[in-house]
Structure 1
Amino acid sequence: MRDVLIVNAHLIRDSTTLVPHGWMHVSQGRITALGAGTAPVLDGAEIIDAAGAFVAPGFVSTHSHLFTSASRGLGASEYLYGWASAMYAPTAGCTPEQIYWHTLHGALDVLANGVTTLFDFNDPRRPWAAMVDGRRQELPPLRPFEFGTAQIDAKVASGLRTVTAIQLESESGSAGESLENWTATVEHLRAQDRSLALDAAVYGAVQWADDPATAELEVRAMGDHHVLNQAHFLETPEHVELQRSKFAWYADAGALGPSMIFGHFVQTTPEIVAAVADSGSAVSWQPVANGRLGSGFADVTGLRAAGVRVGIGIDDQACTDLSDPWQAMRFGLFGTRAHRQDPTSLTPADVFAMATQQAADVLGIGDRVGSLDVGKYADFVVVDPRDPDVGPVRDPLASYVLSMSLRNLRSVYVGGRAVAHGSRSTHPLADECRRRVHDLA
């Protein structure tokens, strides 16, 4: 792999460190050196001239569902459960091959928009079952084992770095059989390129479960395989008391701790927040999705004040409809300030950190991604404030969060290799992927 030297860049290393007129050296896919001023001479290196543009870490999403990329615009006036019934319908009958292309479509989409690492929930092998009075109804049969592994294969093929959450299909059959099938999928993932398939995780499903045994089985998988668990939890204003009652299932099963992430976490109580903070559990915040579905606004300021680790997720392409990390940062920032009626309650630096380094820390991969530091993967975006021109940049980080958008995104790099230019994927299968997904629809 050829060395890369980025020059004439305004480096945003993280939420607190900026290097004007900077350069960065990439070798074997990792950052090996960076600094300000005149760049070193490196024979044979590929030169990327940023021409005064921002070079910043690729975004990290703590919560995504890539397979939904072809299901946008559905359930446009529904709460979570009604939206889910509408959104899942187009993929309910997908074969493993078809879900591969749907997942690849989603992965190439987020990469082209500057997200280089994310936590992704595999579409479970059991199709979505409608929720009535907060409980799942008649369960459809399981889809083939390859339905899960095909999604993993698509993510690896895309060049995106992922942590993949896999659901334990424990609603029927024995716990041992559920764990055996889950383990086989994890083993398939761990046989892939581990620089891309970073690891597996548990797809927490207690919100939809009828039995505390679901939480117990998830904790068993977490311990046996040393993986994270992220649960959609306390998301929707529907049947709030039923949702809250299930927090005790996780607490009693021993799930709480640094390996537990609660996704959404809107309909909380002071007691639940205190338990999460005391245990070291984390929260994944999806401000755009929560607005789209009328779920409410998570009290992120209060969570952070309590000491809870928080990372931003872009969530479904089907419940944000545009996988735009700037949209996520700004919606979260502006919504919090409006809700609090306080412009100091959250800053541009805060939401940038939650969309990069702090997101990586929540996922336990902050030693590899999330900032421009020597030794980390060279995953970065080139963002030009003069194309289109936003005027003089007086506060670089504030301008990056408040004024930049996908129209300013010039290029995206993973491991020092270009994966998109001008929000268009450079992947050799991009055109075929688009054709297949549209033909299927």
Structure 2
Amino acid sequence: MTENTSAYEEGWMLVSDDGYITDLGEGSPSENILAGEIEVVSLEGKILMPGFVSGHSHLWQSAFRGIAPDGELWPWLDAIHRTYGSDFATGDMKAFTAHGAWDQLCHGVTTTYNHTHWLDHDYAIFVEQLDGEMDVPQRFVFSSCVDLAEEPSVWKQRFVDLMAESKQVPTKNFLSLALNLRPYGPPSVAAAQVELAEALDINYQLHYLEQSGRQEMDRSAWPGYREAGVPSGRATFAHFIHVDDTILSESAEAGAGMIWNPLSNGRLGSGLPDISTYLESGLKVGMGVDGQASADISDPFENLRMGLYALRMRDENSDGLQPIDILRLHTIQTAKTLGVDAFVGSLEEGKFADFLVVDPQSPITGPIWDIPAHLVFSCSSANIESVYVGGAKVVSSGEPVDFDLLPLAKEVEERISEMRKRHASTQAE
């Protein structure tokens, strides 16, 4: 997925015991490499590619698929956040988040940006979203919220404590900490959060310009965002569909980025961003599978197709983005947009050995004429034979290697059943 490098028809990769790529190349490895004490794994007939990177996800929403099928963003939020937000019990967020992380990993997303939510509960329940990820072998950026009812000094201490968990050294699955910026109220509220991010040297992300019906209202907030210093090289805007020329040009000039979520945007009827124009403007662009309650399936192959086909239908033209371009958007370009491209997003020496083994013959997809086109047009997560993180196989044929997913799935079902009972009881009162 590196720029200006085409797919190898035949190649090899060397992975160290500690899970890094130490060498790779086209053709066959040298005799010197083969003479070492190494384990050789033959993947003849398979496609080796970097694991997908999701630049915007809400892992806890894995327990709410199919909810509000006729709602766009605001009615959908009413059906999930504003209906059940106060009904979470201890342990719910942890179980739901772990379920969502495993679901993404089994679909080939080896790195995710978990854009957390506070909802209507206390900090102990909120931070379960971190606990739920820590035991899953998926890389993640933890985008934490601040409690707007608390003072900035409390925000900072909580973030410092969270940073101690990651130590800002990605030797495990916790890659880095980020801020879920909540720009509610006057510009000073957003400005205080931007100041926190700058003080801690972390990035931030916020939902912006998603719902079609609120686009004029959302655009009117831009002067306040500008006043608060939101557009910057630290910022990524999730969705960012209904921009005007000023918002786009100022965001690009500030070094900001956006995360495109085709499946979610299609499901909620949010709209289609003009990705080609965004890229031409210099805006950083990545892709995400969003939460499983608005995209419902975590298959990045479907996300690629949904996005590329929608652009081609709108333009009535297939000469724009090509398969290799959109593959890069969901791997290395997302990693760059999030600031984690030194570690993930492409197969390069010195990066984590996080990759997928795709078998185009299981299920059978036919002869391969062009590798990137075949991946985008013909494959799905069902073709993922195995998922590797740090050189270790963590998923095989869609199932975790060293983890039984069934008990967790049953636990999530039971917790949702109890949540619905609590909600019904509260409503009855």
- Farther off after superposition, 386-395 or 356-365: 386-395
* Contact map agreement 2:58 2:292 (CA 8 A) in 1: yes
**Matched ranges for 1:310-389 at <5 A:** 310-389=285-364
Q: 1:119/1:374 Cα in 2 relative to 1: closer, same or farther (>3 Å)?
A: same
* Contact map agreement 1:21 1:52 (CA 8 A) in 2: no
User: Which amino acid counterpart does residue 201 of structure 1 have in structure 2?
Assistant: A
- Matches of 1:191 and 1:200 in 2, distance apart? 8
* Contact map agreement 1:58 1:115 (CA 8 A) in 2: yes
The answer to whether the aligner puts 1:68 opposite 2:98 as a matched pair is no
Q: Which residue is 1:38 aligned to? A: 28
User: Which amino acid counterpart does residue 198 of structure 1 have in structure 2?
Assistant: L
Q: Which residue is 1:122 aligned to? A: 116
User: Which amino acid counterpart does residue 127 of structure 2 have in structure 1?
Assistant: T
Question: Structure 1, residues 267-311: CA drift from partner, whole Å, max 9, x if none?
Answer: 111111010111111111111111111111111111111111100
Q: Which residue is 2:19 aligned to? A: 29
- Farther off after superposition, 31-40 or 341-350: 31-40
- Matches of 1:57 and 1:348 in 2, distance apart? 15
The offset of 1:211, in angstroms, is 2.0
* Contact map agreement 1:290 1:296 (CA 8 A) in 2: yes
The offset of 1:180, in angstroms, is 3.8
- Matches of 1:326 and 1:58 in 2, distance apart? 12
- Matches of 2:152 and 2:98 in 1, distance apart? 31
| Secondary structure at the counterpart of residue 360 of structure 2 | coil
Identity between Structure 1 and Structure 2 (%): 31
Q: Which residue is 2:76 aligned to? A: 83
* Contact map agreement 2:388 2:395 (CA 8 A) in 1: yes
Gaps of 5+ in 1: 1-11, 128-142
User: Which amino acid counterpart does residue 24 of structure 2 have in structure 1?
Assistant: L
**Matched ranges for 1:32-431 at <5 A:** 32-39=22-29, 40-41=33-34, 44-88=37-81, 89-90=83-84, 92-124=86-118, 126-127=119-120, 143-170=121-148, 172-190=149-167, 194-206=171-183, 209-431=184-406
User: Which amino acid counterpart does residue 165 of structure 1 have in structure 2?
Assistant: S
- Matches of 1:244 and 1:212 in 2, distance apart? 14
The offset of 1:14, in angstroms, is 6.6
User: Which amino acid counterpart does residue 117 of structure 1 have in structure 2?
Assistant: T
- Matches of 1:37 and 1:306 in 2, distance apart? 38
- Farther off after superposition, 70-79 or 212-221: 212-221
- Matches of 2:225 and 2:198 in 1, distance apart? 14
Gaps of 5+ in 2: 417-429
* Contact map agreement 1:156 1:193 (CA 8 A) in 2: no
The offset of 1:99, in angstroms, is 1.1
The offset of 1:151, in angstroms, is 1.5
Structure (1/2) with the larger strand percentage = 1
The offset of 1:32, in angstroms, is 0.8
User: Which amino acid counterpart does residue 63 of structure 1 have in structure 2?
Assistant: H
Question: Structure 1, residues 329-353: CA drift from partner, whole Å, max 9, x if none?
Answer: 1111011111122211211111101
- Matches of 1:351 and 1:261 in 2, distance apart? 18
* Contact map agreement 1:91 1:99 (CA 8 A) in 2: no
* Contact map agreement 1:164 1:200 (CA 8 A) in 2: yes
| Secondary structure at the counterpart of residue 55 of structure 1 | strand
Question: Structure 1, residues 167-216: CA drift from partner, whole Å, max 9, x if none?
Answer: 1221x34343344444444444548965311111110222xx12222211
Scaled by the length of structure 2, what TM-score is found? 0.91
Question: Structure 1, residues 387-431: CA drift from partner, whole Å, max 9, x if none?
Answer: 222221111111111111112111000001111111112242523
* Contact map agreement 1:311 1:354 (CA 8 A) in 2: yes
Measured on the aligned residues, the alpha-carbon RMSD in Å equals 1.9
* Contact map agreement 1:330 1:401 (CA 8 A) in 2: yes
Question: Structure 1, residues 212-250: CA drift from partner, whole Å, max 9, x if none?
Answer: 222111111111111111110011023322211222222
- Matches of 2:169 and 2:131 in 1, distance apart? 8
- Farther off after superposition, 91-100 or 71-80: 91-100
- Matches of 2:4 and 2:99 in 1, distance apart? 30
Scaled by the length of structure 1, what TM-score is found? 0.88
Question: Structure 1, residues 345-374: CA drift from partner, whole Å, max 9, x if none?
Answer: 211111101000101000111111111111
* Contact map agreement 1:287 1:298 (CA 8 A) in 2: no
The offset of 1:47, in angstroms, is 3.1
* Contact map agreement 1:99 1:147 (CA 8 A) in 2: yes
The answer to whether the aligner puts 1:16 opposite 2:5 as a matched pair is yes
- Matches of 1:49 and 1:144 in 2, distance apart? 50
The offset of 1:255, in angstroms, is 2.4
- Matches of 2:210 and 2:225 in 1, distance apart? 16
Q: 1:431/1:46 Cα in 2 relative to 1: closer, same or farther (>3 Å)?
A: farther
* Contact map agreement 1:101 1:436 (CA 8 A) in 2: yes
User: Which amino acid counterpart does residue 268 of structure 1 have in structure 2?
Assistant: V
* Contact map agreement 1:61 1:355 (CA 8 A) in 2: yes
Q: Aligned pairs, how many?
A: 411
| Secondary structure at the counterpart of residue 346 of structure 1 | coil
| Secondary structure at the counterpart of residue 362 of structure 2 | coil
- Matches of 1:369 and 1:189 in 2, distance apart? 16
- Farther off after superposition, 394-403 or 55-64: 394-403
| Secondary structure at the counterpart of residue 307 of structure 2 | helix
User: Which amino acid counterpart does residue 81 of structure 1 have in structure 2?
Assistant: W
